[in-house]
């Protein structure tokens, strides 16, 4: 199917017009709800509803629209329910139940999809012995890099994720993470993580692993710069084994941010030849007004054995009506122009 530039532009404008009323109505409803609840409970949007220190409930949702030569869809991408709290100064917990890709309508093929089964995204407890030693146990985000630590649409800078956070290592682990500041340098943090079983809930995970061990370190130089590294290995349930090394750097100022991550992996399949995989991305942000951000990202992915090469450029704009309400739009440029696409999303943390 061929789409001309004029048809594409008309589709983008039409999408924005059609959904403008929906967004305005939704924002109005959220504002009214926020004010009404705040009068009774001091509730603030994005902070959850706190019954007491041991029990806070909240959640988030995100919608997404995509358009390109081979895609044209709209859907409710995520809907999640959160429960978290602490019962003393040392122990805390977090539970996240999510409906992923809850509803999607594919205009290109005139199809609809629904996934109504919820799954456990995260379920873990934290015990803090000291600033130098804490233990997290349960299903949790793998503590690697920067992008992987922001799985919620409303908290991240762009609608899409870099390939690095989707293909290079398991996004989640079911096991333990021992972490804290190092006694030799209180600006140097560490994470020692270990998984020795199958995932607690293997729905919607990127890599189904049953063994994973790794170490992450990050140094905060107190001048805006942070440098980190991770190394580890994991085994998938199909017995494929992968070793990886990652480097990441970040620089933050009032208006500007710079982020880069690079991952080098060696995959030893149970059947087949060794695969050497490289992924590198660089991302910059410019906050030209308090609620407005421009983002640029370039990424390179290469798997030598499979002969896969991907080069992706992303130009994006983000608008935060309030901190827990995010509207984002981006255009992706691929080495194969047939994969070029426009993505937009609207997300709320409550």
- Residue 14 pLDDT class (50, 70, 90 cuts): very low
Task: Calculate mean pLDDT across residues 247-254.
Answer: 95
Contact 88, 65 (CB under 8 A): no
- Residue 65 pLDDT class (50, 70, 90 cuts): very high
Q: Which structural domain range is residue 314 located in?
A: 5-349
Burial of 318 (0-12, 13-18, 19+ CB in 10 A): buried
| Token pair belonging to 96 | 């996240």
Could you read off the pLDDT of 111-160 as tens digits, one per residue? Answer: 999 888 999 999 999 999 999 999 999 999 999 999 999 888 998 999 99
Residue 315: what pLDDT?
97
- Residue 41 pLDDT class (50, 70, 90 cuts): low
Indicate if the pLDDT at residue 37 is higher than 70: no
- Residue 290 φ then ψ, to 5°: -55, -35
Indicate if the pLDDT at residue 193 is higher than 50: yes
Give the CATH number, domain containing residue 109. 2.40.160.10
How does DSSP assign 46-115, residue by residue?
A: TS-EEEETTEEEEEEEEEEEEEESS-EEEEEEEEEEEEEEESSSSEEEEEEEEEEEEEEEETTTTEEEE-
Task: Calculate mean pLDDT across residues 77-100.
Answer: 92
- Residue 10 pLDDT class (50, 70, 90 cuts): very low
Residue 86: what pLDDT?
92
Indicate if the pLDDT at residue 45 is higher than 90: no
Indicate if the pLDDT at residue 4 is higher than 90: no
Mean pLDDT for the chain? 87
- Residue 2 pLDDT class (50, 70, 90 cuts): very low
Could you read off the pLDDT of 196-211 as tens digits, one per residue? Answer: 999 988 777 889 999 9
The model's pTM is 0.85
| Token pair belonging to 199 | 């995932």
- Residue 244 pLDDT class (50, 70, 90 cuts): very high
Question: What is the domain count for the chain?
Answer: 1
Higher pLDDT, 190 or 31: 190
Indicate if the pLDDT at residue 18 is higher than 60: no
């Amino acid at each position: 199917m061929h789409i001309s530039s004029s048809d594409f532009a008309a589709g983008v404008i039409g999408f924005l017009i059609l959904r403008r009323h929906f967004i305005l109505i939704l924002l109005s409803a959220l504002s009214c709800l926020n004010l009404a609840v705040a009068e009774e409970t001091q509730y603030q949007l994005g902070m959850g509803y706190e019954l007491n220190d041991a029990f806070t409930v909240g959640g988030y949702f995100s919608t997404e629209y995509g358009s390109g030569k081979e895609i044209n869809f709209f859907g409710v991408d995520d809907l999640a329910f959160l429960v978290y709290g602490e019962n003393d100064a040392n122990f805390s917990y977090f539970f996240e139940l999510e409906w992923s890709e809850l509803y999607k309508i594919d205009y290109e093929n005139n199809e609809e999809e629904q996934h109504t089964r919820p799954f456990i995204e995260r379920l873990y407890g934290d015990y803090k012995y000291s600033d130098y030693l804490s233990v997290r146990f349960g299903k949790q985000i793998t503590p690697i890099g920067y992008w992987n630590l922001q799985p919620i649409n409303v908290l991240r800078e762009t609608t899409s994720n870099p390939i690095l956070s989707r293909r290079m290592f398991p996004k989640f682990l079911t096991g333990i993470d021992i972490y804290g500041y190092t006694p030799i340098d209180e600006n140097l943090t560490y994470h020692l993580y270990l998984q020795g079983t199958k995932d607690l809930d293997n729905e919607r995970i990127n890599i189904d692993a049953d063994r994973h061990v790794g170490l992450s370190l990050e140094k905060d130089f107190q001048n805006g710069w942070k440098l980190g590294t991770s190394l580890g290995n994991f085994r998938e349930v199909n017995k494929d084994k992968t070793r990886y090394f990652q480097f990441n750097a970040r620089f933050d100022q009032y208006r500007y941010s710079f982020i880069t991550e690079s991952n080098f992996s060696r995959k030893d399949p149970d059947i087949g030849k060794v695969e050497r995989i490289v992924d590198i991305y660089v991302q910059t942000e410019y906050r030209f007004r308090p609620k407005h951000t421009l983002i640029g990202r370039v990424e390179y992915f290469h798997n030598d054995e499979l002969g896969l090469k991907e080069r992706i450029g992303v130009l994006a704009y983000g608008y935060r009506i309030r901190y827990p309400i995010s509207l984002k739009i981006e255009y992706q440029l691929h080495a194969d122009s047939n994969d070029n696409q426009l993505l937009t999303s609207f997300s709320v943390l409550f």
